[in-house]
């Protein structure tokens, strides 16, 4: 065992006979162990255990008032499943029954009284080496877990960045700031949270939403950037961006991209079944698609585009209320309204 570990190992000795403790102290000091703690009162074991945090316990088996078996039970409740804390039982009782019961309760080894100096030191050395290697392994595992956690966080951050960049790409031609996708993602998250979705699901909607219009990269500029109304033919071409987006995102194994594909395909469906591309209605439309439909609609109305002026907040709110149960899921509208009222109240307070 390495010298540094030998010098740092902490002992806790419990024996009702002062003579036995003095003998163990002499034996251990000669073996170059320094941190020796002891008590002749078995009732003090648990408080000393908490205070000292020993690396090994030497425990007399037969003591008045509280015997070693009871103390082993108490220790087993305090020592975690993943810990290795060696306990050596000191006893003159060499019967198989006593040994079996002590082992069952958590003892690791036995030293028979009267004590043999060489045997005591060898058994202690072996058990402390095992504890030392166990602690080393625990430390290595912790460092490995920390590194894995750091890498996982870095990968999550990179994934979020990629999703955001892809979202900006889809909007760049008709929203050069790329802010539309982020605003819609934030609004969709707030609506989802207001609806009571778990935090993880709401965050997934936030991550996936910026890709809702990625299919626009397949729409010609002559249509996408056209000022004014589309012809019926142009409108049919424009509608295809939902299917193009779903096709681009199809087959991913990542939950955010899978959800993004669903949103891309369904965010222009309407509660009354009059939307596109499939004419889904009510609960046939995935909840994420219903949420993003409203968030996208509000943001599109309240921001200027090449083909339209920006509506006021009041105008947009009135139109959304008018579309409750027609274009939009009534429950999603109600959640949206609560979010907006809270924002208005917060602005009023500030």
Mean pLDDT of 304-326: 88
**pLDDT value at position 279?**
96
Q: Are 257 and 308 members of one domain?
A: yes
pLDDT band, residue 331 (cuts 50/70/90): very high
Helical H runs in 195-324?
199-208, 221-224, 232-249, 255-266, 287-302, 313-322
pLDDT of residue 177: 46
Structural domain span for residue 343:
172-349
Q: How confident is the model at residue 223 (pLDDT cuts 50, 70, 90)?
A: confident
- Is the pLDDT at 294 greater than 90? The verdict is yes
Mean pLDDT over 85-114 rounds to: 88
Domain presence at residue 311: yes
Instruction: Assign 80 a pLDDT band (cuts: 50, 70, 90).
Output: confident
Cα 188 to Cα 44, 138, 185, 326: the distances in Å are 60, 43, 5, 19
pTM: 0.60
Say if residue 204 is in the same domain as residue 315. yes
Do both 134 and 176 map to the same domain? no
* Residue 308 DSSP symbol: B
Query: Does residue 54 fall inside a structural domain?
Result: yes
How many distinct structural domains can be found in the chain? 2
pLDDT at 125: 92
Q: Rounded CA gap, 320 and 20, in Å? A: 86
On the question of pLDDT at 113 being above 50, the answer is: yes
Summarize pLDDT for 170-196 with one digit per residue, the tens: 666 555 445 888 899 999 999 999 999
Q: Say if residue 159's pLDDT is above 90.
A: no
Q: Across-strand partners of 11? A: 36, 56
- Residue 12 host element (H or E): strand 10-14
Does an H or E element contain 324, and which?
none
Statement to judge: residues 15 and 98 lie in one domain: yes
Spatial CA neighbour of 6 closest among 122, 125, 89: 125
One domain for residues 199 and 319: yes
- Each residue's pLDDT tens digit, 18-66: 999 999 999 999 999 999 999 999 999 999 999 999 999 999 988 888 8
Is the residue at 60 inside a domain?
A: yes
Specify if 152 maps to a domain.
no
Q: 67 pLDDT band (50/70/90 cuts)?
A: confident
Q: Tell me: do 121 and 178 sit in the same domain.
A: no
User: Pick the residue with more confidence: 174 or 301?
Assistant: 301
CATH of the domain at 322: 1.10.3210.10
Q: Which CATH number is 57's domain given?
A: 3.40.50.2300
């Amino acid at each position: 065992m390495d010298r540094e570990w030998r010098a740092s190992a902490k002992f806790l000795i419990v024996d009702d006979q002062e003579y036995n403790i003095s003998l163990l102290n002499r034996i251990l000091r000669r073996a170059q162990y320094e941190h020796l703690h002891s008590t002749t009162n078995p009732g003090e074991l648990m408080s000393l255990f908490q205070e000292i945090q020993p690396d090994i316990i030497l425990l007399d088996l037969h003591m008045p008032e509280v015997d070693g078996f009871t103390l082993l039970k108490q220790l087993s409740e305090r020592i975690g499943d993943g810990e290795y804390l060696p306990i050596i039982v000191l006893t003159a009782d060499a019967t198989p029954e006593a040994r079996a019961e002590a082992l069952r309760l958590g003892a690791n080894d036995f030293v028979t009284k009267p004590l043999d100096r060489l045997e005591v030191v060898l058994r202690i050395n072996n058990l402390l080496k095992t504890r030392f290697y166990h602690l080393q392994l625990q430390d290595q595992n912790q460092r490995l877990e920390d590194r894995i956690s750091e890498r996982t966080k870095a990968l999550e951050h990179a994934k979020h960045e990629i999703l955001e960049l892809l979202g900006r790409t889809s909007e760049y031609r008709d929203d050069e700031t790329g802010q539309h996708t982020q605003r819609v993602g934030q609004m969709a998250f707030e609506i989802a949270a207001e609806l009571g979705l778990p935090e993880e699901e709401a965050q997934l909607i936030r991550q996936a939403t910026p890709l809702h219009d990625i299919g626009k990269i397949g729409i010609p500029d002559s249509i996408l950037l056209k000022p004014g109304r589309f012809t019926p033919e142009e409108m049919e071409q424009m509608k295809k961006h939902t299917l193009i987006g779903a096709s681009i995102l199809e087959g991913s194994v990542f939950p955010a991209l899978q959800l993004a594909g669903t949103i891309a395909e369904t965010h222009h469906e309407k509660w009354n079944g009059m939307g596109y591309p499939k004419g889904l209605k009510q609960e046939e439309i995935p909840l994420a698609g219903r949420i993003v439909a409203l968030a996208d609609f509000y943001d599109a109305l309240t921001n200027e585009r090449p083909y339209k002026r920006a509506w006021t907040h009041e105008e947009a709110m009135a139109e959304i209320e008018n579309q409750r149960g027609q274009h939009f899921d009534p429950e999603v509208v109600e959640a949206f309204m609560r979010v907006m009222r809270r924002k208005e109240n917060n602005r009023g307070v500030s």
